[in-house]
Amino acid sequence: MLCQICKINPATIHIQELANGKKKTLHLCLSCAGKKTLANAIFDGLDLPDILSSLEQNLSGILPPGFNPLENPSALFEQDSDTEDPEPLVCPECSWSEDQFHKTARLGCPQCYETFRKELEQRFFEIHRSATHTGKPLLFEPEHSGETGGILDSAAKQAATENQRRSELETLERDLKESIRREEFELATELRDKIRSIRRTLHSLETEDKDRQP
């Protein structure tokens, strides 16, 4: 079912309204629902925090981290909140610039994958529908280690399991979106819980990683 306001996005939120004693059901997408509840709150004096908190309860686990409409209602309108222009990135290892990366769609050196990591993760999703390698791991310790870089560490073998978890996470996230689209909410809740538990494990692994490599 498509959103009744924008008629573009799939409707994932269903709001029942009482108008002139008649019950009316609205099927909306997340973005239009946000606008709609805000507009209602302003014009009809509805309890905005109440609506938003119920929205949040329904959607927690689906919303991106840091997206909290209770604390920041404008997040409903600007999901990509990074609007400030940061300094253009340059790889400290090989001086490859963000501009060169964009123009050539190539990177300058292996270290660039860390330098441009944020953008790369997004690109990986666009190109590969995934940002996690689940194939053959590098099983050999290089004899020439320590020259430059340092991307490869002794955890390479362990990473294979970690990557499997990430891949599982990606699949679950896809399934979650699909289940919401199909309005199978019981399944969605189940998936959300699974996603949370994997995220927790991965997060603790990552913190360990950072402790090891300051």
Partner 1 sequence: MIPSKFPWDTADPADTADNPVIIASRIRLARNLRTFPFPCNASPAQKLKVLDLVRNALADSKDAWTETDAGTAPDSDLELLEENLTIPPGFRKDRTGKALFLSGDGTTGILVNTEDHIRLQTFAPGLKLKKLREKLDELDNFLAERLPFSYHTRFGYLTASPADAGTGLKASILLHLPALPLTGGNKFLQKAAEAMDLTIRGFFGEKIKITGNLYRIANRSTMGESEPEITGRITECASRIGAQELNARKILRENHSIRLMDFCARAASILASARLISTEEAMNALSGMRLAIETDLKQPPHPFDWNKLLLAIQPCHVAPAPCTPEKRAEKRASFLRSVFGGDPLPDTATTGDGKESGEA
**CB-wise, 19 or 105, nearer to partner 1?**
105
**CB-wise, 123 or 182, nearer to partner 1?**
123
**How far apart are alpha carbons 63 and 75 in whole angstroms?**
11
Q: How far is the CB of 32 from partner 1 (least distance, A)?
A: 30
3 state SS of 15: strand
- Contacting residues toward partner 1, per CB under 8 A: 93-94, 96, 104-110, 113, 120, 123-124, 127-140, 142-145, 147-149, 151-153, 155-156, 159, 162-163, 166-167, 170
**CB-wise, 100 or 189, nearer to partner 1?**
100
**How far apart are alpha carbons 213 and 54 in whole angstroms?**
41
End-to-end CA distance of the chain: 49
**CB-wise, 21 or 135, nearer to partner 1?**
135
**CB-wise, 40 or 163, nearer to partner 1?**
163
Q: How far is the CB of 151 from partner 1 (least distance, A)?
A: 5
Q: How far is the CB of 90 from partner 1 (least distance, A)?
A: 12
Contact status, residue 149 vs residue 93, Cβ threshold 8 Å: yes
**How far apart are alpha carbons 37 and 144 in whole angstroms?**
60
In which residue are the tokens 């946000």 written? 34
Q: How far is the CB of 103 from partner 1 (least distance, A)?
A: 11
What are the angstrom distances between the C-alpha of 173 and each of 44, 51, 130, 154, 158? 36, 25, 11, 30, 23
In this structure, how many other beta carbons lie within 10 angstroms of the beta carbon of residue 176? 20
Contact status, residue 12 vs residue 181, Cβ threshold 8 Å: yes
Q: How far is the CB of 169 from partner 1 (least distance, A)?
A: 11
**CB-wise, 18 or 139, nearer to partner 1?**
139
Q: Angle of helix 156-181 relative to helix 185-212, nearest 10 degrees?
A: 160
Q: How far is the CB of 48 from partner 1 (least distance, A)?
A: 40
